[in-house]
Amino acid sequence: RTDAGVHALAQCAHVDLPDDRFSAARWTEALNALLPPGIRVLRCQYVSKDFHARLSPKGKLYRYRIWSGAVLPPFEYGRAWHIPRPLDFEVLKTSAKHFVGTHDFAGFAANRGKQEKSTIRTIYSVRVGRNGPCVTIDFDGDGFLYKMVRLIVGSLVQCALGKLCIEDVNGRLASGQLGPARFAAPAEGLLLVRVRY
């Protein structure tokens, strides 16, 4: 599942069935016949009884898209955060590296109304790329807290716009505490690329 406004390229769901009388391919065909054109089932497969789509992942890959140009093309509307000002790309890249590793990300999580068992997560890599005005930030990690990627991107952009120092971001990351002036990037730029099982 994703939060409102967040897109997904590949998402996994599971269903507990009483038997396996239909083939996985037949399930794929039947489900796609019932779904609207904007939602597709790419593949079905039978898995072990202990598999759970939400609880079994070993990691996730998220991509955040920013359009840093004067005009947002219509096809990018709802799929990228439009920032019509130049970003300091080198500051963005350098700042992103500080999030790699195992940290207490409590300072980069929002309250969902329930207590997290742990706010410690591992980010294996953060890759920042640019193709013209389109900036992408890929986060590969073992798991993510509620709004964690959006809060990290919000901080990175504030650094790239000269509104926040990376030392402030590092301080929040090191303390594991909520800090002042937290800003979450809009949901529309966030994309769940892959879930690893």
Confirm whether 3 is a catalytic residue. Answer: yes
Q: Which two tokens stand for residue 128?
A: 């920042």
The answer for 162, left when phi > 0, alpha when psi is -120 to 50, beta otherwise, is left
Could you give the angle at which helices 89-96 and 148-160 cross, rounded to 10 degrees? 140
- What does the alpha-carbon distance between residue 8 and residue 144 come to, in Å, rounded to a whole number? 15
For β-strands 190-196 and 120-131, DSSP reports them as unpaired
Backbone angles phi, psi at 61, to 5 degrees: -120, 120
In the set 3, 50, 104, 138, the catalytic residue is 3
Catalytic residues: 3
